[in-house]
Chain A
């Protein structure tokens, strides 16, 4: 058993409770704006729900999973107790208090600004303060990851940092830096206005600062998933990781090029010129590299498992894979969804293609496919894999786990594929109501109903997930033994310094961000004539 298992369980449970609530809200939204429901009498309820759904899914769930999984990796990979457990609890309490602080004004309808804030719309200050607290709590985690790695390296000079820990620390640094954009927007722009200290705000500047966070945050969500591809999947299916060095390279590439690309979210915005849009499109193409490398390495690792089980032939080995193993199922589904989502992403990165789908339902479909599909399905797998090591009890409901993963996959396909389709047909996003009696919207009705059914299947799958975990707390006590991460085909004995440390890469990450964001931000800050008065949001309106 790990010394911090209670700490880790607390993180996962808070994450999954938020996830369950947000999942229900998501399906309610799908239903309310589908042809199955009449005109929603209070559209404000819909935007209130979108704000809560987005805040819980985009900030609370992934941040707490990354933190909890990070603490788990620190103990299990470095094979020693987590240093700074009191600080870790302080971080958790900040995140929990922040979540509650943010949820209250949202529930009261005082902060229906969606999780992307959209100034000059301004909600209740406590909503933003709550989010800042969650981020500050997560920064404690970043510091702890760094300290634990440093102390371990001091005691183990020259030894290769285990891949899981290397990736985990890379993810924490990525998060620390990418959160700075939204933090600047909140602290220097939104909060002063929400607290009544300032009376105007520059919406264009706010959008650029938010884009700093908005894209790399997706890679922060993705890092636990990629860690599980590299360090859990090969072991769980009885194989070997094809290459340890390629894993390190992939995480380094994420650290360096995930950051300076966020302006691709602003292709259609008037406050950024064409030059920087192209620069960011260029870097967006580069960020496909670590994913393409990962696809190769993980498929090769899976093939090794199949060959070890006696698989033969160019494709015949696929048959002997352990298909009844939940982790095998999860990684398969995750890769399929990543393939479709990634292809959609390559379309979005291109200004010319983007102009047909920008801010349509295609985009909502895209990030649900990537985040709700490829990423979250591996969060399930991570929980299934490590739960016995946290509870000291067997997690034996394999049938339920398989049913849960299958329903999530089917539900996500049914949810997001029609969503892409209606987006292509020009259906705008984030609306509480569509008039399906209009001849040009009527053809969308069937697709929207299919998505709503997909959402209902996802809710059922979410319930199954919680049932599996709760049953895990009541299973027979057992000794799960020492937790093992996947071993590489060629375990590294020594690793070159650049693949074992972060100094160079952090320098590049910050440098590229300054190059790609410095001028647009400076230009916008220099022109205060574009500021507008805030528009306050509240239920009384």
Chain B
């Protein structure tokens, strides 16, 4: 009898310990979710809200991704809009020109296979999927030059697909952008 009572008591103790630990685990997970939600709502980095499509077979013929429209555009509100495409195995423009300390929006897509890119030492990191437009916001505090490698396997030349981002002084960019409709690193 006493053995069985002891058994019951230890089982109850084990169950209590387990419940406490499970409650702690749930609290940990809840905190993680709250942090994620809070960061998403209050910080700048957010995924684009909805999917935006574009006919990948007609990119070069019409619409915003025709060749003459690629590059950086100075908007009336002082922000910069960059349109670019990634294709096997380069970006167009291959070197993106942006001003320092200015809100920049990148709109990019792919006409052939899946690519991706990141700009090193920033949080700019996205995929390029044919048929869909990737939009991502950035702000580069200082002038300088950054790598922009393709980071998704896109075929046998993938390792050579490294673009660049050149960040120049705000005033200098303004000058270039008023002289030309779309600018990139090529003078």
* CB–CB A270/B48 < 8 A: yes
A355 touches B113 (CB 8 A): no
Pairwise interchain contact B36-A350, C-beta atoms closer than 8 A = yes
A118 touches B153 (CB 8 A): yes
Q: Does B150 contact A (CB under 8 A)?
A: yes
Q: Is the CB of A270 within 8 A of B25?
A: no
Is the pair B118, A271 in contact by a Cβ cutoff of 8 Å? no
A-B pairs with CB below 8 Å: how many?
Answer: 212
* A426→B124 CA distance, assembly (Å): 11
Is A242 in contact with chain B by the CB < 8 A criterion? yes
Q: Chain B interface mostly helix, strand, loop or mixed?
A: mixed
A242 to B45, CA, bound (A): 44
Known: A358-B125, A440-B120, A535-B155. A530 touches B21 (CB 8 A): no
CB distance from B111 to the nearest CB of A (A): 8
Which of B33, B47, B116, B155 sits near A277, CB closer than 8 Å? Answer: B47
Q: Mark A490-519, 1 if CB is under 8 A from B, else 0.
A: 100000000000000000000000000000
Contact of A358 among B51, B118, B131, B150 (CB under 8 A): B118
Shortest A224–chain B CB gap in Å is 23
Contact B120 A204 (CB under 8 A): no
- State the Cβ distance, A296 to closest chain B Cβ, in Å: 5
A351 touches B47 (CB 8 A): yes
B127 located at the interface, meaning its Cβ lies under 8 Å from any Cβ of chain A in the complex:
yes
Contacts A203-B130, A355-B45, A359-B125 hold; do A431 and B159 have CB atoms under 8 A apart?
Answer: yes
B39 contacts A350, CB within 8 Å? yes
Q: Chain A 416-431, CB within 8 Å of chain B: the 1/0 string?
A: 0000000001101111
**Is residue B172 within 8 Å, beta carbon to beta carbon, of the partner chain?**
no
Query: Nearest chain-A residue to B124 (Cβ)?
Result: A355
Contact status A359-B152, CB under 8 Å: yes
Contacts of B28 in A (CB 8 A): 288, 292
A352 & B39 in contact (Cβ 8 Å cutoff): yes
Which one, B53-61, B75-83, B96-104, is touching chain A?
Answer: B53-61
A203 interface neighbour in B39, B48, B129, B135, Cβ under 8 Å = B129
Contact in complex: B156, A351 (CB < 8 Å): no
Task: Judge whether A268 and B55 touch: CB under 8 Å.
Answer: no
B51 touches A271 (CB 8 A): yes
Residues of A within 8 A of B153 (CB): 47, 50, 113-114, 118, 121, 430
Decide if A437 is an interface residue (CB 8 Å cutoff). no
Given contact pairs A359-B152, A426-B118, A269 touches B21 in the complex (Cβ within 8 A): no
**Interface 0/1 of A37-56, CB less than 8 Å to B:** 00000011011001000000
Interface pair B131/A285, CB less than 8 Å apart: no
In the complex, B50 has a CB within 8 A of chain A: yes
Q: List 26 A-B contacts (CB under 8 A).
A: A43-B159, A47-B158, A203-B114, A204-B129, A272-B51, A273-B50, A274-B49, A277-B47, A278-B40, A281-B33, A286-B29, A288-B28, A288-B29, A292-B21, A292-B29, A293-B22, A296-B18, A352-B45, A355-B124, A356-B125, A360-B118, A429-B151, A430-B158, A532-B56, A532-B113, A535-B88
A-B interface, 6 closest residue pairs, ranked by CB to CB distance from nearest: A530-B131, A426-B120, A428-B151, A270-B132, A359-B151, A292-B25
